[in-house]
Amino acid sequence: MRKTTSNFIVAKKHTVAKQLKVSALSSVMLLAAGAMAAEDAKKDDQKAESGNKLGTVKVNADAINADFKAEKVSSDKFTQPLVDTPQTIVVVKKELFQQQAATSLSETLRNTPGITMLLGENGNTATGDSIFMRGFDTQGSIFVDGIRDLGAISRDTFNTEQVEIAKGPAGVDNGRGASSGYINLSSKKASLEDAITGNVTLGTADYKRSTLDVNKSLNETTALRVNLLAQDAGVDGRDEVESNAWGIATSLGLGLGTETRTYLNFYHVEQSGVPDGGVSTIGHGDYRSTALAALFPGGIPALKVDTETFYGSTDDHNDVSATMFTVRVEHDIAEGVTLRNTSRYGRSTQDLVLTGVNGVTAPGASLTNLDTWTIALSRQGRDQVNQILTNQTNLLATFDAGGVKHDLSTGVEFIYESQFNDNVGLPYLAADSATRVTQANANLYNPRGTPVVYQPVVHDGTKTDGETSTAAIYALDTISLNEQWQVSVGIRAERFYTKTDQILRQGAVTAPAVQTIPVGTYLGRDASLEDNLISWKVGGTYKPAENGSIYVSYATSQLPPGSSNFALNTDPLTASSNANSPNLEPQKGTNQELGTKWNVFDNKLALTAAVFKSTNENEIAVNGDGSSVAVGERQVSGIELGAAGIIMQNWQISAGFAYMDPEITRGNQSTANGGAAQTDGGVIQWSPEYTFTLWNSYAFSNGLTLGGGARYIDSVASSSLTNEAARANRSMLIVPDYWVFDAMAAYAISKNISLQLNILNIADEAYIGSLNNSGARYFPGAPRSFRLGANFTF
């Protein structure tokens, strides 16, 4: 954990060392690509002279316009093509997000409806991929190649083949998880086809990014693939904020094309930069403040804060390191029978110091002088380490039994996951004090005009160490009764053990309680939970034609206490009111779905439609007598439509639409004293009723490709509260709806090189990208911005 010191806000530039580091890595990538391309060209000439036909040269225009339509997901647990899979699954291929200049998971997820991004809650500001899908928090249900990916990090797509979004509870697929479903990033791996691709892009906000993807066959059965990343960038529309990264991913394939294949994969990414603490929501249409309303009964006379305003310190930082080692062995036992074993060790660390913003204060002596208004700052931090160690074995078999065909996927999994937090915060006034140092406010509209002394963020001596060990067995079978009817069944049984150890600091007790333990004393506390989970799913598919299906399905999932961050509640006084208390039953999710899928236009365009109802039970809710019990329930019903593929020659599309009706069917009820947080019958926060996404492109015969798209997010509620007394404490209850339009033009100047221009938010729409739980601060959506890149393929 890097220590911080007091600093004033000053203009920050990229350091010379950082520029040299990125420039050097970019130069190495380009030199390596040029050398390998020259070597391949020499070999091509030799082959041409001997009469051999070269089959590995790629035309760049084809790479730009590769098909958006995916045939199936990468997971071994799905035996059927997407058209015959009885579940809503959206697959975003790399060809699509590369056209859009999307480089992170969050940007890639704009291609599926029903997803919103969160800023944080309880005074904290989220970092990484903070995702809300179909009414439920999905941040803890992100996977890489079917293995859970831990840590609050922003995932880059430089080593991603496709992103798979499975909607609805899916406990059979991955074990514990949210009722919304999960997201899987399928990684690139070595193959016997030689290829070199890369990209160098410049853009607004000092954006600089280079990627290189080299796949090289070493002999007839061995190949090596290397992916490199270098990025040095600011953030459009935000002063001082930076997003920098470098990474390497390698995949060595052995025995390719034989009965036994082995992949040795390594992945390492370093991210750094200045994190964003957000902007005050004051001045926006729905803004409210109990304190300011009392001072201005006729209405708060406040203006919006400039969206570029940065309130943080130059010592704010977000340093992330992520490493994964993966070994995958596949063996074809017989025709239609394959055994696979995957082992992985992964470790990620995050060192974060961030300045967030909270409530606004108007000095009593000059209420109407907005230049004197101030905003409260919160100094936050995180020193976190996540680890995962897993071994997973899968058997995939196709056979006939009982007069019907079976496609069986079965296996066992052993998983160890841990998270350690060495907690940080503002220092205490003294070793025996319960009060922390106070962070001074900043000027609301001009934080740089009046110097602000930022208090240091230090380790406070408290720690949380949590771990979960899981052993699971599963089986999924698709039974083809005949050419028209299929039945899919799946079940997973797992046993888990979660343990949390904490070091806490004794605070001051409230009278009439007696202070028996001195303030500042460090205390140890722990909790553990061991239990069994059973998840299952069933589906029926009718195929009126070979290219289409109509299906119905039902699936379940479970989410035990402590699943999100391995932190069980260790306080016996809050055992009934804390969702992470080990004495509570797991939350249970179910999904009912009726849908249809069709491959039309000679199987080049996939069309999907589904109606669904997802329910999550056993949430904490307050009864009318004030007691807390695990009887809460949320329910999301809706419709989702999708399209991906080629409409006509040279014209392809990816589109999605979702309608959701999110409701808390059993929440906190009104108590005798009026209740402070009633949610019964309220809407589920962060869940827009309508969402829409579209991207399409057309390739002309002269090498020009034009593309464009639109995204619509309906207005969303930031709170599920239904009583006005509690709603009055929220700064902003509704996030307005918005449209964003993007455009792309690419031109192949040769068979190997093309130029690509992306214009993002071409209408320069001002919108709220994400909001925190209290509504006090938000991330502005990026304004109009530009990316100009050169793509090369050999």
Q: What is the pLDDT of residue 126?
A: 60
In 3D, which of 770, 756, 657, 764 has the Cα closest to residue 199?
A: 756
pLDDT at 5: 36
Q: Taking a C-beta distance cutoff of 8 angstroms, is the pair 119, 771 a contact?
A: yes
pLDDT in tens, 186-221: 999 999 999 999 999 999 999 999 999 999 999 999
| pLDDT for 54 beyond 50 | no
- Residue 209, amino acid: R
How many beta carbons lie within 10 A of that of residue 711, not counting itself?
Answer: 20
Write down the pLDDT at residue 346.
Answer: 97
How do residues 306-328 score in pLDDT, each as one tens digit? 999 999 998 999 999 999 999 99
Region 705-715 average pLDDT: 97
Asked whether residue 47 carries a pLDDT value surpassing 50, the answer given is: no
Q: What is the pLDDT averaged over residues 89-112?
A: 96
**How many other β-carbons are positioned within 10 Å of the β-carbon of residue 322?**
23
- What is the rounded (10 degree) CA torsion for 162, 84, 690, 696? 50
The predicted structure's pLDDT at residue 365: 62
pLDDT-above-90 percentage for the chain: 71
Q: Token digits for 477?
A: 């079978």
More confident residue, 13 or 736: 736
Nearest to 575 by CA among 625, 506, 627: 627
- 645 or 121, greater pLDDT: 645
pLDDT bin (cut points 50, 70, 90) of residue 57 is very low
Is residue 743 pLDDT above 60, yes or no?
yes
What is the band of 332 on the pLDDT scale with cuts at 50, 70, 90? very high
Collapse the DSSP code of 572 into the 3-class scheme (helix H, G, I; strand E, B; otherwise coil) and give the result. helix
DSSP assigned state of 120: B
Query: What is each CA distance from 141 to 37, 138, 388, 608, 774, in whole angstroms?
Result: 40, 5, 14, 24, 24
Under 8 Å between Cβ of 419 and 567? yes
Give the confidence band of 442 by pLDDT, cuts at 50, 70, 90: very high
> How sure is the predictor about 676, in pLDDT bands with cuts at 50, 70 and 90?
low
Residue 38 three-state SS: helix
Global pTM value: 0.90
> What single DSSP character describes residue 155?
P
> How far is C-alpha 510 from the chain's CA centre?
41
53 pLDDT exceeds 70? no
> Which strands make up the sheet holding 279-280, listed edge to edge?
279-280, 777-780, 768-771
Identify whether the C-beta of residue 697 lies closer than 8 Å to the C-beta of residue 706: yes
Per-residue tokens: 261: 């294949």
Residue 516 half-sphere exposure toward CB, CA atoms < 13 A: 3
Average pLDDT over residues 370-383: 92
What pLDDT shows up at residue 671?
A: 61
Of the listed ranges 271-280, 659-668, 670-679, 768-777, the one predicted with least confidence? 670-679
Look at 730 and 651; give whichever has higher pLDDT: 651
Mean pLDDT along residues 545-560: 96
Alpha helices by DSSP H, 249-368: 290-295
Q: Given a cut of 60, is residue 236 above it in pLDDT?
A: yes
pLDDT of 26 strictly over 70: no
pLDDT value of position 64: 55
The region of weakest confidence among 72-86, 268-282, 562-576, 700-714 is 562-576
Pairing between β-strand 279-280 and β-strand 238-242 as defined by DSSP bridges: unpaired
What rounded mean pLDDT belongs to the chain? 89
What is the C-alpha to C-alpha distance for residues 501 and 508, in angstroms, rounded to an integer?
A: 22
Mean per-residue pLDDT for 93-119?
93
158 CB contacts (<8 Å, ≥6 apart)?
103, 211, 227, 228, 229, 247, 249
Residue 788, helix vs strand vs coil: strand
Q: Which residues of 638-661 are buried (b: 16+ CB within 10 A; e: fewer)?
A: bebbbbbbbeeeeebbbbbbbbbe
Whether the predicted pLDDT of 250 surpasses 70: yes
Picking from 39-53, 413-427, 583-597, which range would have the lowest pLDDT averaged per residue?
A: 39-53
* Cα distance between the two ends of the chain: 43
Residue 34 neighbours by CB distance under 10 Å: 13
pLDDT in the model for residue 578: 85
* Strands 142-144, 181-187: pairing kind: parallel
Q: Is 297:257 a contact under the CB 8 Å cutoff?
A: no
